[in-house]
Structure 1
Amino acid sequence: MGKKAKKEAETRCNEPFEPLPVEGKTPETVVLLLSSQEEDILVKACEAIYTYAEKGDDNKCYLLGLGALEPLCKLISNNNRLVRRNAFMALGIMATNGEVKSALKKKDVIPSIIDKLSLEEDTVVHEFATLCLASLSVDFVCKVQIFDNKGLPPLIQLLSSPDPDVKNNSLEIIFNLVQDQKSRQAVHESGGIPPLLELLKSDFPAIQHLALKTLQNVTTDADTCNTFREEQGFEKLMEILSNTDFSDLHAGTLQVVANCLSDSESLQLIHKDGGLKRLMEFVLTPNTPAIQSNAVKCITRVAHSSENRKLLHEHNVEKVLVELLSVADISVQTATCQAVSIMSFHLASKDSFRDLGGIPAVVQLLNNESLVLKEAAAQALSYLTHSNQLNMFAVYEAGGHEVLVQQLNGSGLRTLANSAATLGNMAAQEVIRCSILSLGAVKALVEPLNSTDTQLLVNTTRCLAVLTCDTEARAELQSAGGLHPLVNLLRSYHKEVLHNACWAISVCASDGPAAVEMCTFGALEMLQEINQSVNRRSRFSKLAMISLLNSNLSAKYSLTSHLASTDLICDGFYDVGKARAGQRILTLEEMSKQPVNEHRPIIVVNTAAEETVETEERQSNASETDTSSKAERRTPRKKKEEDKQKDEPLPEKPWKMMDDVSLQLLIKEAKESIIPLTDEREQCAALARLVSEAMGGAVEMERLHEYPWVLHLSELKFQLQANVVPIGLISKGIYGHRALLFKCLADCIGLSCTLVRGEYNRAWNEVLLFNREERPAQPCRYTVDLMHQPGSLMAPNTLAAVQYQTI
């Protein structure tokens, strides 16, 4: 038997269901109804949610807790128009609550909302959809989502909606979006400028103000300004400015005008339409501070053109600006100072500001508590005093230099930079410079040298370069520790910072101690590197290098192997040998503290007559081994110290350069025997013989290799237990030693000569003498023989001169 067939399922009853009236008495019930499949129930449930949420934030939060947000986000895409509309109403009103908005950001609802912004959709949907987006658009992530989902074009279309709420909401969203650059560009690319301009005529002040605020943002973009001009934007703005009924819009309108005036075509357009005259009227007529400050900003923008500055000067704008400096509003005073700065590029305006009493007024503003105003006032003074001597003294007479020096301590970066710039301008006048220095400006400028702000560094280094032309100022900078950070600026790759740092270094290098200290910080090595660079070298870096070397002849001789006749050797000069490029040259003190080594000795010059026991004892020991005629001239003085307890540690004595009594005697002998000679040739020859005699006498060229100068110097180093040897102790010297001694003695007696280093310990002196054989007599440079025929003078490029200078 086959299986019994299963009874077919009963078919659904075709009898109609009697409608059941539903009455929801609690929010919980209504939220449940949002999941219904019946459209009529959904329409009523959404409407009930909207009515309940509209009553307050507590109700919105309660609905959020009941889970109303999830079904509403789905219902805004429902096929039924009434369901969509009521769902948007409920969602839009709920989104105005902060907690609901935070929850909504986590849901991917923005694409669905943007999709319903089409013109075919219901106006009510537009109103609440834009209300929802307006709440969300204050968040950066939501702004990005709106932009990425192409929300701007439909929003711009809705700016022409007949419904004011839709316009206002759409405008608010656009305003939030244009805080970002890419949205500003997209607004004008999507045709947003015409409807924004049209909204300026709205009957609703809120829409007008919001449209102006949006235009203020979008007109910061150059392309937008072009579109703005093409859409007769200036004409429409001028209509607003000319209408007293729109006085509440004048401040915002002026801000839009100020943004667009950076464009040269806009400047011509506004001048042609009488806009410039209207701007002057706004400045002249007492108005609200916002209107006055924005009008001044417009004038400032206009004044960026030299042609317009001339035009403004002809309209006596300086008189108006000076009057505005006394307006008791910080925004007006700040804008006015900025206008003064730009107008100061016009030379005649600088004089007008001074003649009208504007400089004391600006100086007075330096005392204001507002950092923004102080910055603007200091900037105005920097421009007013630039290349204008009378204005410098006007600031000085108003006491401006005192306030500016005070502002070098603890002010904002821009105020500090502007103050330094003004002081640098004023310091060009000696009287003012002395007063600035007496107020401690140099010390105050040391800390800014450690800044990373380029403009501050540019102005600070320039100010120091001008101030330190005074000897006391250089000493103050050195004692305040300013040389090290100044040298560190040589590492800067900012062109102007580097130039000014080199300038300041070249000025400070006028003092020998400062030059030596800067060299210890690596200034020479850095300048060598800079001057080898095609991109970084300049006349400033070359000047700094020359100045440092001229004040540090030891380094100059080591690096360049040449001292000119004007380079006068003095105490503390030392010959460390030829330095390699980029090699740091140690100081004499550093080399004196090194243990004795096998390298060539450092030859030092010291003509001072100071007495130190340790030095005299070492010189005496060294002199006892010297059997030459020079030993007879050496008369070391010995002193004995009192015995001290062996267990008591002796304090470390400050380093002192070793005395050189023998050199002192040689100088005395040179002055007594050579200065009386009247013929310069005889003086050169006699000095050469004196030097030769002091260093072992004449040596035949063929027997030079037998001359024991190396052994003699090694013995001196051992006896002195030092690598540094005073030149007066050398009794067996060759070319380099004799040439250095000749240069030293010649400089002491006023005999002009050079010192030139060749290769392999060769060095020689050149003197400039008149050649008697020529008629008329012509000056000729001769090489002085100190080795083989002491006193003979060798003409340049002769065989004798070449043999003397080379191996």
Structure 2
Amino acid sequence: RCSKLAKRLSPPPTLLVESKTPATVVLLLNSLEEDILVKACEAIHTFAEKGTLLTNSDVIFLSDVKGTLKKLDAVPSMVEKLSPEEDTVVHEFATLCLASLSTDFVCKAQIFDNKGLLPLIQLLSSPDPDVIKNSLEIIFNLVQDYQCRLAVHKLGGIPPLLKLLMSDFPVIQKLALQTLQNITTDKDTRNTFREEQGFEKLMDILNNMVNDFSDLHDDTLQVVANCLSDSESVQLIHNSGGLTKLMEFLLSPSIPEIQSNTVKCITRVAQSSESREVLHKQDVEKVLVELLSVADIKVKSSTCQAVAAMSLHLASKDSFRDLGVIPAVVQLLSSENLMLRAAATHALSNLTHSNKRNTLAVYEAGGHEFLVQQLNGNCPRTVTNSAATLCNMAGQETIRSSILSHGAMQALVEPLKSTDSQVLINTTLCLSVLARDKEARAELQRAGGLQPLVNLLRSNHKEVLHSACMAVSVCASDEATAVEMCKYGALEFLQEISQSVNRRSRFTKLAMVSLLNSNLSVKYSLTGHLTSSDIITDGFYDAGKVCYLLEKKKEEDKQKYEMQFESLIEKPSNTIEDVSLQILVEEAKESILRLSDEKEQYAALARLVSDVMGGAVEMEKLHKFSWMLHLSELKFQLQSNVVPIGLIKKGIYCHRALLFKCLADCIGIGCSLVRGEYNRAWNEVLLFNWNASNNQHSSQPRHYIVDLMHKPGSLLEVDTPAAVWYQTI
């Protein structure tokens, strides 16, 4: 309790009131005798304070007391004793009892419902410091609830609370500040607070901190931060010179802890773009630069956070660079303090975001080397920010090469195994930029990074999955890496995702396409389609159709699929050089490319393919075409299921379409390859027809299917009866 002046008059003859039953004491509150009321309040307060004792029996007793008081509806009787007509002594003990009970949720509600807040606010002007202290304590407990916070403002609680900031008693000042800290989270309350010169009173406290008010700085700055939490308040306080005072206070000789908390206040102000603009005009960047030279770790850490917040303002990024902030922050990366390193990496992450000149400044200061080292740290925040900064920097080729030379790919492997979602997001995004280089992808594979990357495709976290898909799509740029990821199940995971409405997205589709484009054999087996941009090269083979895993219903079918898929991604090792195909390619170049008309080129190539593979076969006589026997003989002769396409002399739809696609790709004329059912396959080409009436090609191209089987060289327009007849049995 507060120390106070002796103020009681000599009491009348003593009246002893003793009771071991709380109910009896509560009933005494209805007495009209002042002395009995005082004794009853003292007794109730004694009961309530029993909870501070250490014995179990006392704790149980306190629970019984509170339960009994709630059942007997004691709170309304106590609230009645707060009226101005009652003596100060009654006020003191009534508020003491309510202060003890106001920590209970039900009692708080009773005080509010019985309109106890207004008399409590009025008692803040009491001449008795104990009454003030008790009333403040009750109000503080009440304003933990939103409804009460608003009520304090509406009932005129701001002026008396501000007046108490100048109290002679630190406990009253602290309670007043803590109460203001709660209620100024409301915008209307902040407006009234500002109109009552509340901000100026806070600044007066801050300016006197070094002397009498130093123990109140944290609570004061919390209220200051609330006052500056919206851009409108910031502008109004700025117009009245409040921000200038805050900046001056920040640089005045001060206690490091006070400086640290003040900078945190600046950081909170800088959360909105409008407020950042105001702070920028106040040259806050210069203030922060000076604070980076302070020896205290907390001050430096808080300053780095403020730099990070202000770096979201484009002009501030340039100001920080011009003021030499970047080399100063880079030096902090070598600190042994984990908190400071995390704050420094956060500042660099924001400074380098979408700013090439700042990324270059970090590079010139040697920051990339430190950042690579931070990737192996134990602090998730540091790893997250380091990966983000490296990602920002790696967009420039020179910097990317230097980052890679310091072992970045190997350093990224461990973060790929993290359970922290933001670490995973930033790590995979960084990987997406660094893996643009072929050697970097090879390094990632050697370091064992592909498997943890592929495992992230199982993630149910949307952003983690998306960023992982981006990294997979970049790493799939070369066939070796793509095949390795397929071995770890990348395609299977992506196939499962493609069947999920909630998980599939353009990112998962991109990853799937990238993996398939790097392995056309797998793509053709899984999708049954190669576009004109899918260029067949040496080593391509048709392993037949492989169904999606999710289409399998039985366990034996699943096992069959997995075996088939594994054999698909493992290229045949016993292949022989296809000399016959090489001869055909040279013949096609010589005979086809000399033709000037594109339509005639396709027709001539179709006839060449047909001639090589047994010539035209009438539909009615197709069953007599002994292609299966021929193929079996070749397999037996080669002792292999893999047959070079150039050796096939009797081929049907699927063989001829594959050879046509291969030759067309080799000589540079475009066509697609589409697999149908029952060994059917065909090639589609795109042509602009010649219009004789205006002596020019049509504006819209048409799709044609090339007949390689029955009337070799015929071009069948897609969706016509003739085309459908060619595609189906």
Query: What TM-score, normalized to structure 1?
Result: 0.73
Alpha-carbon deviation of 1:89? 3.6
Partner deviation per Cα, 1:335-366 (whole Å, 9 max, x = no partner):
32222122212222212111211112222233
Q: 1:501 to 1:508 in 2, by over 3 A?
A: same
Matched, 1:149 2:107: no
1:400 to 361, 367, 377: 367
Q: How far did residue 328 of structure 1 move?
A: 2.1
Secondary structure at the aligned position of 1:116 is classed as helix
* Worse-superposed segment, 544-553 or 675-684: 675-684
Check the 8 A contact 2:415/2:423 in 1, yes or no: yes
CA drift at 1:321: 0.6
- In the alignment, the residues of structure 2 paired with residue 520 and residue 401 of structure 1 have an alpha-carbon distance, to the nearest angstrom, of 33
Cα contact 1:341–1:383 (8 A) shared by 2: yes
AA at the equivalent of 2:304: C
Offset at residue 148 of structure 1 (A): 3.5
How many Å apart are 1:305 and its aligned residue? 4.0
Residue of structure 1 in register with 2:65 after alignment:
108
Contact conserved, 2:251 with 2:287, CA < 8 A, in 1? yes
Partner of 2:358: 391
Which residue in 1 is equivalent to 2:53? Answer: 98
Partner of 1:670: 584
Kindly provide the amino acid, as one letter, of the partner of residue 204 in structure 1.
Answer: F
* Equivalent pair of 1:512/1:551 in contact (CA under 8 Å): yes
Matching of residue 755 in structure 1 with residue 661 in structure 2: no
Q: Does 1:212 align with 2:173?
A: no
The aligned runs of 1:758-769 (5 Å cut-off) are 758-766=676-684
Q: Which of 76, 82, 95 does residue 119 from structure 1 map onto?
A: 82
Aligned match for 2:379, one of 393, 408, 412: 412
Unaligned 5+ residue runs, structure 2?
Answer: 1-11, 553-558
- Structure 1 residue 172: deviation in Å? 3.4
Structure 2 matches for 1:164-183, cutoff 5 A? 164-175=129-140, 178=143
Task: Evaluate the alpha carbon distance shift between residue 770 and residue 134 of structure 1 in structure 2; reply closer, same or farther with a 3 A threshold.
Answer: closer
In 2 relative to 1, CA 582–757 (structure 1 residues): closer, same or farther, beyond 3 Å?
same
Offset of residue 387 of structure 1: 1.2
Measured at CA, do residues 185 and 725 of structure 1 come closer, stay the same or move farther in structure 2, by a change above 3 Å? farther
Determine the structure 2 residue equivalent to 1:13. none
Deviates more, 1:404-413 or 1:569-578: 569-578
Q: Does the 8 Å CA contact 1:592/1:722 hold for their aligned counterparts?
A: no
The 3-state SS of whatever aligns with 1:765 is strand
Residue 272 of structure 1 deviates from its aligned partner by 2.5
Instruction: Measure how far apart 1:426 and its partner are.
Output: 1.0
Q: Which amino acid aligns with 1:700?
A: E
Q: Aligned-pair distance for 1:86?
A: 3.4
Aligned partner (choices 535, 538, 549) of residue 516 of structure 2 = 549
CA distance in 2, matches of 1:451, 1:176: 42
* Inter-partner Cα distance in structure 2 for 1:352 and 1:196: 41
Q: Distance in 2 between matches of 1:104 and 1:169?
A: 23
Q: Is the 8 A contact 2:82 2:120 kept in 1?
A: no
Which of 711, 715, 722 is 1:794 aligned to?
715
**Partner of residue 464, structure 1:** 431
CA gap 1:501/1:127 in 2 versus in 1, 3 angstroms: same
Question: Looking at CA atoms only, which structure, 1 or 2, has the larger radius of gyration?
Answer: 1
Secondary structure of residue in 2 paired with 1:106: helix
TM-score (norm 2): 0.79
> What one-letter code is carried by the residue in structure 1 that aligns with 2:242?
G
Shift of 1:183: 6.1
Q: Measure how far apart 1:316 and its partner are.
A: 2.3
Deviation at 1:734, TM superposition (A): 1.1
Q: Report the residue type matching 1:216 in the other structure.
A: Q
Task: Give the superposition deviation at 1:382.
Answer: 0.8
Residues 679/410 of structure 1: CA separation in 2 closer, same or farther (3 Å cut): closer
TM-aligned CA distance change 1:205 to 1:658, over 3 Å = closer
Question: Deviation of residue 247 (structure 1)?
Answer: 5.1
The partner residue of 1:354 within 306, 309, 321 is 321
Aligned with 2:334: secondary structure? coil
Q: Counterparts in 2 of 1:450-529, with a 5 A limit?
A: 450-451=417-418, 453-490=420-457, 496-519=463-486, 523-524=490-491
Counterpart residue identity of residue 119, structure 1? L
- The number of residues matched between the two structures is 683
1:511-559 residue CA offsets vs partner (Å, 9 max, x unmatched): 2233344445665566567678887665544433432332132343345
Aligned mates of 1:671, 1:559 — CA distance in 2:
27
Name 1:573's counterpart in structure 2: 541
How far apart, CA to CA, are the structure 2 residues paired with 1:705 and 1:231?
100
Q: Secondary structure at the match of 1:764?
A: strand
2:200·2:242 contact (CA, 8 Å) conserved in 1? no
Residue 704 of structure 1 deviates from its aligned partner by 1.0
Q: Report the 3-state secondary structure (helix = DSSP H, G, I; strand = E; otherwise coil) of the residue aligned with 2:395.
A: coil
Q: Distance in 2 between matches of 1:715 and 1:41?
A: 128
In structure 1, C-alpha distance between the alignment counterparts of 2:87 and 2:544, rounded to whole Å: 93
Tell me how far apart the structure 1 counterparts of residues 667 and 647 of structure 2 sit (CA, whole Å): 20
CA distance in 2, matches of 1:114, 1:723: 94
1:407-446: CA deviation from partner (whole Å, max 9, x where unpaired): 2223322222222211111111222222322333334334
What is the Cα deviation at residue 461 of structure 1?
Answer: 2.4
Instruction: Name whichever of 227-236 and 423-432 sits farther off.
Output: 227-236
Pairwise mapping of residues 624-773 of structure 1 onto structure 2 (< 5 A)? 657-661=572-576, 664-671=578-585, 673-677=587-591, 679-681=593-595, 688=606, 691-692=609-610, 695-709=613-627, 727=645, 732-748=650-666, 752-766=670-684
Counterparts of 2:566 and 2:445 in 1: how far apart (Å)?
28
- Work out whether residues 290 and 331 of structure 1, in 8 Å CA contact, stay in contact via their aligned partners in 2: yes
Instruction: Tell me the alpha carbon deviations over residues 94-135 of structure 1, each in whole angstroms, 9 at most, x when there is no partner.
Output: 827432763443223354367424315554454345446656
Contact 1:755 1:764 in 2 (8 A): yes
- In the superposition, relative to structure 1, how do residues 793 and 498 fare at CA in structure 2: closer, same or farther (>3 Å)? same
* Distance of 2:35 and 2:643 partners within structure 1: 107
Q: Indicate the larger mover: 113-122 or 238-247.
A: 238-247
C-alpha separation between the residues in 1 aligned to 2:562 and 2:491?
22
Are residues 293 and 803 of structure 1, via their aligned partners in 2, closer, same or farther at CA, if it must alter by over 3 Å?
same
1:86 to 39, 62, 65: 39
The one-letter amino acid paired with 2:574 is D
8 Å CA contact 2:244, 2:282 repeated in 1:
no
SS at match of 2:674: strand
Cα distance change on mapping 1:707 and 1:677 into 2, 3 Å: closer
Pairing partner for 2:307 from 340, 343, 346: 340
Q: Aligned partners of 2:337, 2:568: CA distance in 1, in Å?
A: 59
Give the share of equivalent positions with the same residue, in percent: 62
Q: Are the aligned partners of 2:390 and 2:430 in contact in 1 as well (CA < 8 Å)?
A: yes
Unmatched segments (≥5 aa) in structure 1: 1-39, 47-67, 585-589, 596-600, 606-654
Structure 2 counterpart of 1:209, which letter? K
Per the alignment, residue 248 of structure 2 pairs with 281
Q: Which residue of 1 aligns with 2:7?
A: none
CA offset at residue 567 of structure 1? 1.4
Distance 1:470 1:316 in 2: 42
Rounded to whole Å, the distance in 2 between the matches of 1:349 and 1:276 is 17
Which amino acid in structure 2 is aligned with residue 547 of structure 1? S
- Contact 1:404 1:419 (8 Å CA) reproduced: yes
- Distance across 1 between alignment mates of 2:638 and 2:122: 96
